[in-house]
Amino acid sequence: MAIVGGISLLLVVAAFLVYPLYRYFKLWQLVNRIPGPVALPFIGNALQFERDGQAFFVQILKWVDDYRDTRVFRIWIGPKPVIFVYRADAAECIFNSSKHITKAFVYDFLHPWLGTGLLTSTGDKWKSRRRLLTPTFHFKILNDFVGVFNEHSSVLVTKLNNYAGKEEFNVFPLITHCVLDIICETAMGIKTNAQVDCDSDYVQAVSGMSTVLQDRMKSPWFWPDTFYNLTEDGKKHGKFLQILHKMTNKVIKDRSAELSKHLASQGQTVTEDTEMTTIGGRKHLAFLDMLLYMHEADPEFTFTDIREEVDTFLFEGHDTTAAALTWATYLIASHPEVQERIFEELDGIFGDSNRPVTMDDLKEMKYLDNTIKESLRMYPSVPIFARQLDEDVTLAGFKIPSEANILVAPYALHRDEKYFPNPEVFDPDRFSSSRSKHRHPYAYVPFSAGLRNCIGQKFALYEEKVVLSSIFRKFKIETAMRREDLKPTGEIILRPLNGINIKLSLRN
334-389 per-position pLDDT tens digit: 999 999 999 999 999 999 899 999 999 999 999 999 999 999 999 999 999 999 98
Q: Where are the alpha helices (DSSP H) in 379-456?
A: 410-413, 433-436
- What whole-number distance in Å separates Cα of residue 506 and Cα of residue 161? 8
Measured in whole angstroms, how far is the alpha carbon of residue 414 from the centre of its chain? 17
What total of structural domains would you count in the chain? 1
- What whole-number distance in Å separates Cα of residue 104 and Cα of residue 81? 11
- What whole-number distance in Å separates Cα of residue 157 and Cα of residue 476? 12
Q: What is the pLDDT at residue 465? A: 98
Q: How confident is the model at residue 4 (pLDDT cuts 50, 70, 90)?
A: low
Model confidence, pTM: 0.91
Beta strands in 177-299 (DSSP E): none
11: in domain: no
For residue 295, pLDDT over 90 is answered with no
Q: What are phi and psi of 212, to 5 degrees?
A: -70, -30
Q: How confident is the model at residue 12 (pLDDT cuts 50, 70, 90)?
A: low
Mean pLDDT of 157-161: 96
Q: What is the pLDDT at residue 19? A: 63
Q: What is the pLDDT at residue 6? A: 57
5: in domain: no
For residue 491, pLDDT over 80 is answered with no
Looking at residue 419, which CATH number applies to its domain?
Answer: 1.10.630.10
163, 165, 166, 170: CA torsion to nearest 10:
50
For residue 208, pLDDT over 90 is answered with no
pLDDT digits (tens, 9 = 90+) for 172-182: 999 999 999 99
Residue 71: CB partners within 8 Å, gap ≥ 6? 85, 86, 87, 89, 90, 395, 396
Q: What is the pLDDT at residue 317? A: 86
314: in domain: yes
262: domain range?
A: 42-506
Q: How many residues does the chain have?
A: 508
- What whole-number distance in Å separates Cα of residue 444 and Cα of residue 423? 12
32: in domain: no
Between 498 and 63, the more confident residue is: 63
Angle of helix 366-378 relative to helix 303-333, nearest 10 degrees?
100
Between 425 and 97, the more confident residue is: 425
397: in domain: yes
- What whole-number distance in Å separates Cα of residue 70 and Cα of residue 395? 10
Q: Is 121 helix (H, G, I), strand (E, B) or coil?
A: coil
Cα angle: 262, vertex 263, 269; to 5 degrees:
170
pLDDT digits (tens, 9 = 90+) for 18-56: 767 878 888 888 899 999 999 998 889 999 998 888 888
- What whole-number distance in Å separates Cα of residue 325 and Cα of residue 22? 49
Q: Is 394 helix (H, G, I), strand (E, B) or coil?
A: strand
Do 156 and 173 form a contact (C-beta atoms < 8 A)?
no
Helices (H) and strands (E) in the chain, counts: 18, 12
Side by side, which strands form the sheet with 501-506? 169-170, 501-506, 475-478
- What whole-number distance in Å separates Cα of residue 323 and Cα of residue 171? 11
Angle of helix 457-474 relative to helix 172-188, nearest 10 degrees?
130
End-to-end CA distance of the chain: 97
Q: What is the pLDDT at residue 272? A: 59
Residue 95 Cα distances to 61, 156, 372, angstroms: 22, 37, 23
Q: What is the pLDDT at residue 277? A: 67
pLDDT digits (tens, 9 = 90+) for 438-451: 899 999 999 999 99
- What whole-number distance in Å separates Cα of residue 205 and Cα of residue 148? 23
Q: Which residues of 30-60 are buried (b: 16+ CB within 10 A; e: fewer)?
A: bbeebebbebeeeebbbeebeeebbebbebb
Mean pLDDT of 132-157: 90
Cα angle: 468, vertex 345, 319; to 5 degrees:
15
pLDDT digits (tens, 9 = 90+) for 237-272: 999 999 999 989 988 998 888 888 877 776 666 655
252, 253, 258, 262: CA torsion to nearest 10:
90
Residue 188: CB partners within 8 Å, gap ≥ 6? 248, 251, 255, 286, 287, 288, 310, 314
19: in domain: no
- What whole-number distance in Å separates Cα of residue 383 and Cα of residue 374? 15
478: in domain: yes
9: in domain: no
Q: What is the pLDDT at residue 195? A: 87
- What whole-number distance in Å separates Cα of residue 191 and Cα of residue 293? 21
- What whole-number distance in Å separates Cα of residue 387 and Cα of residue 89? 17
- What whole-number distance in Å separates Cα of residue 415 and Cα of residue 423? 5
